[in-house]
Structure formats: structure tokens, C-alpha cells
Amino acid sequence: MYKRILIANRGEIALRIIRACRELGIETVAIYSDADRGSAYLELADETYCVGPAKSALSYLRIDRVISAAEVGNVEAIHPGYGFLAENAHFNEICRSCRIDFIGPSPQAMQQLGDKNTARGIARAAGVPVVPGSDGLVANESEALEFAREIGYPVLIKATAGGGGKGMRTANDDQALKTAFAQAQTEAKAAFGNAGVYLEKLIERPRHIEVQILADAHGNAVHLWERDCSTQRRHQKLIEESPAPNLPEDRRRAICEAAVRLVQSAGYTNAGTVEFILDQNHNFYFIEVNARIQVEHPVTEMVTGVDLIKAQIAIAAGEPLPFRQADIACRGAAIECRINAEDPEHNFRPSPGKIDQLLVPGGPGVRFDSHAHPGYVVPQHYDSMIGKLIVHKATRAEAIQAMMCALDELRIRGVETTAPFHRRILASQAFREGRMDTKLVERTRFD
């Protein structure tokens, strides 16, 4: 096991990793920017180094500065957390070339799965369903019609050079496809100077289901069940939970096993998340692999009892997984709410500033992962998350109830937070019945 690692991150995930290291008896080197200077969590590290000014492009994202801190700090490994350099294959490679372990997958696995087409290919080869699509340009209307009939309507027509919805059309039948195909080509040509379009099956009201996996360097890979992260706002996850509600047990096992097959095919090691979308008939389609620990990892920790950060470190240090698939039970239900310093009453605008008062909920099954404390100043330079409130109870209904109580109990003064918004989502009929999809929040008015 390592004696000393560097944490190339900040805030709650830096604190989370420091705590795991302390429990493992591993010394920690923390880095910080000017904006995080003096943060209380830094005092828990054995050594701290300032790597630059507040702007992350000049500090947390500067590979040379981070590596230099690792050299000055004389560490054996770097834990990248999430965000910043966590999925930067180049950084990953530089770490290894400096004889510093990167706590995550190999640069090769990271790169392969980071490329959407390669990842789709790996998935197909592993027998993992992907969203049916033309996998290349559709030359003309008749080819489009043929392909649409093959994968079934509704379909989505997308510009190959596209972005921002330009050159994107949906079609529910042949007639609509004919019109839409021409429109999409014209629009794509006008917008990007490239009329090339391709076809994809349109998944209506999709759910976002992801599977936590752990794979060691000895060929062992397991899943730690799924998380439902459908409760999003503009592609930002708001509420995550495990297990996914209203997911038949056979589908659940199928999706989890597919995730394991995929990472094994890719030679992937360490912790990772395989993301799927799930249609309303419980068909699942592989989307991508997140080659890092994720914000929402605690919900999985609560239901499985596995410490994912410690597992990451042990795997990177070459240890075999200490459990097999059959050992990993999913007990009860866990929900996480991301508490962001944002004002839900004003279009979620950031609300940085000083936290004057912080009263944290507690009791059995309540966990608050946060680096904030009374007097802490939420800097304006980074993402606005100030904590993650996690609740674990015997059933989903109890977890929802406990989460509502915990949100009511959480008192933060000095900055606005998303807590009241979470409260309203949890109280909604749709959420309580587990009828979330990724657009639920955007199309619903929560009172």
C-alpha cells in the first residue's frame, strides 16, 4: 500500500479522499489555489502546497504545477478526484512517466473509452446494446427510410458537424422522415457548411441509469449495482439514488452484468461508471464510461457498505479486490442531494460568499459530505457544490421522507442553496412514484 499520495483536487472530494487516506494510514499532500488558501480541510492533510492563483486553468488544471507538487511532496501516487484532471489521459500518462501512480484506469483504457466511436465498438463487441444509429452518414432519403424502418420509429436526424440542436430533427414515420431529412440537411449545410447527417433511434423520456464498477489489475471486475441519476436539470444531476426505482430485477441484473462485460472487454481497471439510458420499456443502451470516481459515489457506498475511495487506492496499489460479485449486496435505499450555492429562485445563479451559519442534519443513516463550515467562504471560481446530503434507509419511501426532514433541518445562512428546490422535487408525486426521466425537472413546476 502507498505511504503517501497527493490529492489533485479541492473541496468536498479532497476532504473525502483525505479522510479515506487517514483511515488507511496513508499520508496526504494536498494542493490548493489562492482561493482555497486557509480552507479548514487542508489542515487534515500532512502537507499542503499552493499551486497557483484562483483561476483553475492556472492552478488545479496546470499539469506541470500538479506534478511539481507531487515531486516536491515526494508522493507515490496521485488521486485526481472528479473534474479537473481526473479524465485527462495526457495527465494520466505524465504521472506514470514520472513514476507516480495515477489512481484510476490506464491512459489507454481512458483514451479508448473516451472516444465515443471506439467505446461503442467495444460495447457492441461485448454484447452491450448501444443506441441504434447509422454509425455513419446517411447518403440519401431512401437510405434514411431503409435505416429508419430497420431500427424503428421515432428516429433522430443529427448533423455530423452539429451542435446546439442545429440540423437536428425527429421523425415518427416515413412521411415525416422525408421532410425532416431534407430540412436537416439544408439546415446543417447552412449552419456548418456540411450537409452530412446521420440517424439515431430516438429514446423518449429516457432515464439515466449508471452502474458502478470496480476492476482490479488481476482480471477481477464486479459491479456495485446501479444508480438512478435521472433527476437532472439541464444535464446537471440534482438527485441520485440507488437502487433505481421501478426497474424490474431481471433488467437490473442485465444492465449491471452488461457494465461488467464492457469494462472487462476494455481492459479497464479501478473504479468507473458505465452510463446507460433506459427507455420506458426498460430497454437499456450504453452511452459512455466515466473513467473516474463520481460525485454521487456515496449512494453506492451506503447501500453496499463498500468504501469506493479506499477501493480505488487499493486497486491502484496493485491489490486484488477483497470481494467477489456474490459478496456485494444492495441493502435499503440511498438518496443523495447535491447542495449547491445557487439561487433556485433566480434561475440557479451562483451564490458565492460567506456561510454565516451552518446547522447540519444528522441521526441514523444521514451523511453530509462537505468541506463547508460556519465562516467558510464559497469561492466564485469553482463549481458551486458545497456539500452532498446523503440519506440511507430501509426503503425508498423512508429515504425520501428522511431526506425531506434532513433538508428542512439543514440550515445554511449567508448563501442561497438548492436545498429548498430539492425539497420540492422530493415532495412531488412523480418523484415519489419513481417516474423520473431526464426531462422531468425541466417540464415540471414544483410547488
Partner 1 sequence: MAELEENADDVFELDRIRRLIDLMKEHDLGEIDLRQAGQRIRLRRGSAPTSPPTGTQPGLPLSAAAPPMRETVPTSGAGGAAAGGAAANPVEDERHVVYIKSPMIGTFYSRPNPNAEPYVRVGDHIDEATTVCIIEAMKVFNEIPAEIGGRVIAILVGDEEPVDFGRPLFKVDTRK
The nearer residue to partner 1, 37 or 90, going by C-beta atoms, is 37
The nearer residue to a copy of itself, 405 or 430, going by C-beta atoms, is 405
Distances (CA, A) of 407 to 312, 351, 378, 423, 427: 30, 18, 19, 7, 12
Instruction: Please state the closest distance from residue 68 (CB atom) to partner 1, in A.
Output: 4
Task: Return the residues of window 287-316 that contact a copy of itself according to CB under 8 A.
Answer: 298, 301-302, 305, 307
**Residue 69 interacts with, from a copy of itself, partner 1, none (CB under 5-8 Å by kind):** partner 1
Task: Return the residues of window 52-91 that contact partner 1 according to CB under 8 A.
Answer: 52-53, 59, 64-65, 67-69, 71-73
Q: Round to whole Å and give the CA distance between 47 and 71.
A: 13
369 binds a copy of itself (CB under 8 A): yes
CA–centroid distance for 174 within its chain: 37
428 binds a copy of itself (CB under 8 A): no
Q: Round to whole Å and give the CA distance between 121 and 267.
A: 14
Amino acid at 324: R
Q: Which DSSP letter does residue 349 get?
A: E
Q: Helices then strands (H, E): number in the chain?
A: 14, 22
Residue found under cell 499532500: 29
Given 10, 62, 233, 292, the catalytic residue: 292
Q: Round to whole Å and give the CA distance between 180 and 165.
A: 14
Q: Which residue stretch of 48-56, 233-241, 285-293, 359-367 sits at the interface with partner 1 (rule: CB under 8 A)?
A: 48-56
435 tagged catalytic = no
Q: Which residue stretch of 50-58, 85-93, 164-172, 397-405 sits at the interface with a copy of itself (rule: CB under 8 A)?
A: 397-405
166 burial level (CB within 10 Å; 0-12, 13-18, 19+): middle
Instruction: Please state the closest distance from residue 341 (CB atom) to partner 1, in A.
Output: 21
User: Where does residue 350 fall: left (phi above 0), alpha (psi -120 to 50 degrees), or beta otherwise?
Assistant: beta
Q: Round to whole Å and give the CA distance between 358 and 372.
A: 8
Q: Which listed residue (179, 374, 380, 413) binds a copy of itself by CB under 8 A?
A: 374
Q: Round to whole Å and give the CA distance between 396 and 159.
A: 41
Amino acid at 416: E
40 binds partner 1 (CB under 8 A): no
Instruction: Please state the closest distance from residue 412 (CB atom) to partner 1, in A.
Output: 18
**Residue 48 interacts with, from partner 1, a copy of itself, none (CB under 5-8 Å by kind):** partner 1
The nearer residue to partner 1, 14 or 337, going by C-beta atoms, is 14
Q: Which residues contact 174 (CB under 8 A, 6 or more apart)?
A: 145, 148, 149
State whether residue 32 is helix, strand or coil.
Answer: strand
**Residue 51 interacts with, from a copy of itself, partner 1, none (CB under 5-8 Å by kind):** partner 1
Strands 27-33 and 47-52: parallel
**Residue 398 interacts with, from partner 1, a copy of itself, none (CB under 5-8 Å by kind):** a copy of itself
**Nearest C-alpha neighbor of 83 from the set 36, 37, 14, 161:** 14
Q: Which listed residue (164, 193, 248, 364) binds a copy of itself by CB under 8 A?
A: 364
Residues touching partner 1: how many (CB under 8 A)? 21
The nearer residue to partner 1, 37 or 411, going by C-beta atoms, is 37
Residues forming contacts to partner 1 in the complex (CB under 8 A) are: 31, 34, 37, 42, 47-53, 59, 64-65, 67-69, 71-73, 98
Residues noted as catalytic: 292
